[in-house]
Homo-oligomer: A and B are copies of this chain.
């Protein structure tokens, strides 16, 4: 019973002790030391090169080292007959919610303005309202969105959530589908994107969407760079339609040194750190799915390739 691990070599060293402890019978092979391809039953991957998974003839399960499987589904060589599961780890969910809470509070409390005042040694009190008067919208209201929503509600924000299919969440205004998107956007002074990246959501954060937000709205994108049309964000910041943006994901990562986001005074750039994988908590979750497969039980968090997440 063998698992192929394909992420960075440093990363492998962080995972292996947990696999060895929890499932000693599992042989873990770290790419590029693949060995006999036919002996590999499971693959644990982050952005594997096209063709790698297709080269494993007896592969039974593809496990993605993160919540978003857009890279796997965008690769035409990914075997379609092998189930794909995404990593849903409460530890990472909590980390994402912390990131969202920090960035929403930052935008709500005018932190970019105060940081500029500090640079200029300006002592000046800006108008401020309370969280209860600040309407925040979470675009993508699944596991991550709902957890972040609970934390924003505990902080007092006036929260709404949008998802593709209707979801009833106690105490939250929920909107669903394309028909209700304009009403959701029209109330979102701070918009948080936590969508999966699919054919339908690619480039969704564009000029048309920004124009439906209240003037001066702010954006947090903690999902994927592919959701955002970079030039449209810069244009919306230029006209004042948007007042600020916090971005954790980019079309090219690492973000190229000459990209205008780095030095824009109204953009906060973080290097895809909103929710880092955490081997001590994630390894048992991954191995549970291997056990489920072996015992013929239903997998957890299996991806629907047609839906894209």
Contact = CB atoms under 8 A, between A and B. Distances in A.
Scoring A122, A128, A272 by chain B CB atoms within 10 A of each residue's CB, the highest score goes to A128
A38 interface: no
B151 A98 contact: no
A115 B114 CA distance: 14
Interface stretch (A104-112, A192-200, A289-297, A300-308): A104-112
A105 B246 CA distance: 15
A46 interface: no
Given A132-B94, A155-B151, A118 B262 contact: yes
Interface stretch (A67-75, A172-180, A212-220, A252-260): A252-260
Interface stretch (A138-146, A163-171, A221-229, A263-271): A263-271
Given A151-B154, A154-B151, A154-B155, A255 B106 contact: no
Interface string A146-165: 00000100111000000000
Given A118-B269, A126-B273, A273-B126, A102 B98 contact: no
A58 interface: no
Contact of A130 (B98, B126, B263): B98
Count chain B CB atoms within 10 A of each CB in A130, A132, A255 and give the residue with the most.
A130
A177 B117 CA distance: 38
Contacts of A98: 105, 108-109, 130-131, 155-156
A132 to B, nearest CB: 7
Contacts of A125: 271-273, 276
Interface centre among A108, A156, A255 (most CB of B within 10 A): A156
Of the listed residues A91, A115, A255, A270, the one surrounded by the most CB atoms of chain B closer than 10 A to its CB is: A270
Interface residues of A, number: 45
A163 B156 CA distance: 26
A99 B94 contact: no
Contacts of A255: 123
A95 interface: yes
Contacts of A109: 98-99, 102
A208 interface: no
B128 A273 contact: yes
Nearest to A281: B130
Interface of A: 91, 94-95, 97-99, 101-102, 105-106, 108-109, 111, 114-115, 117-118, 121-126, 128, 130-132, 151, 154-156, 253-255, 257, 262-263, 268-273, 276, 278
7 contacts: A98-B108, A98-B156, A102-B106, A106-B106, A118-B268, A123-B255, A128-B276
